């Protein structure tokens, strides 16, 4: 274990750049994880750990099943350096750098013997919302989350934090609208666009066959592409003054309606 006591150390500076800069994460194909639970999920999901930073007064690594010592770099940091590196106010004394995975639609496989439940997320802008949707996807055992023309980085620390690490464990692909549409067609998944225009109340539709819910951005909703290309349009009727829910809440309502129908 190598001791580190300066925030100017090259490993610490690299960690901060990965934590703060989406462009750097994308160019390096690496990302940061903080906390025992999130790191455990990353390891269990098959992500390769490159560097581990530990503040021994705050951290107990006994519950973390780490790779062999020769497979990653291990650093001990003092409290000042750890506070500089930590993203959260309440921390567990451990952060790490992992290699990203590929999310190519052409090489994503799903079970062929089940009715699929899929979420298509077009241009979701807020990492917190994206993370909350992945948390719902984990709770409902969604088969695939498809990021269509997504402007939000899957490996953004806010996404990882708000998903409790589930964005690393739930299967996901990323591509253009056309690539995601073609993936749905290839896997015989019927798509339902969540939109206000020309829509049926969601509870009037059947989601017992392979289903994808297509959700739009917080600011603009769904593009005309998905309103045209989807099999049907659905809406969650509002009873109050506003005409729509937060995208993560709406996704949860639709996802668990599909589960309710399938378990009825």
- In order of their start, the domains of the chain are 2-99 (3.30.1330.30), 105-263 (3.40.1280.10)
Average pLDDT per 10 consecutive residues for the chain, totaling 264 residues: 90 97 96 94 96 91 88 94 84 92 90 91 95 98 96 93 96 97 96 92 97 93 95 94 91 98 94
Per-residue pLDDT, 89? 63
Q: Tokens 């056309």 correspond to what residue?
A: 178
pTM above 0.85, yes or no: yes
Say if residues 61 and 186 touch (Cβ distance below 8 Å): no
Per-residue pLDDT, 157? 95
Say if residues 125 and 219 touch (Cβ distance below 8 Å): yes
Helix, strand, coil percentages in the chain from 3-state DSSP, rounded to 5: 40, 20, 40
Distance, CA of 90 to CA of 28 (rounded, Å)? 28
Per-residue pLDDT, 62? 85
């Amino acid at each position: 274990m190598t001791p580190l006591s300066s925030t100017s150390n090259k490993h610490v500076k690299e960690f901060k750049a990965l934590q703060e800069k989406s462009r750097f994460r994308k160019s390096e194909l690496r990302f940061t994880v903080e906390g025992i639970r999130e790191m455990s999920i990353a390891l269990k999901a098959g992500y390769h750990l490159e560097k581990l930073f530990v503040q021994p007064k705050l951290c107990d690594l006994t519950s973390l099943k780490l790779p062999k010592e020769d497979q990653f770099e291990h650093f001990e940091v003092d409290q000042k350096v750890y506070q500089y590196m930590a993203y959260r106010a309440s921390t567990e004394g451990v952060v790490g750098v992992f290699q990203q995975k590929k999310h190519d639609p052409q090489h994503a496989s799903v079970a062929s013997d089940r009715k699929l439940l899929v979420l298509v997320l077009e241009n979701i802008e807020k990492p917190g919302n994206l993370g909350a949707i992945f948390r719902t996807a984990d709770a409902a055992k969604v088969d695939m989350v498809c990021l269509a023309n997504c402007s939000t980085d899957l490996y953004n620390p806010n996404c990882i934090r708000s998903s409790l690490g589930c964005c690393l464990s739930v299967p996901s692909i990323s591509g253009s609208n056309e690539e995601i549409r073609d993936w749905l067609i290839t896997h015989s998944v019927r798509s339902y666009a969540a939109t206000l225009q020309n829509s049926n109340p969601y509870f009037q539709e059947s989601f017992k066959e392979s289903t994808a819910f297509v959700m739009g951005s917080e600011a603009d909703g769904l593009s005309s592409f998905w309103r045209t290309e989807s099999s049907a349009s659905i809406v969650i009727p509002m009873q109050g003054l506003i005409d729509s829910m937060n995208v993560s809440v709406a996704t949860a309502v639709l996802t668990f309606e599909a589960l309710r129908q399938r378990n009825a």
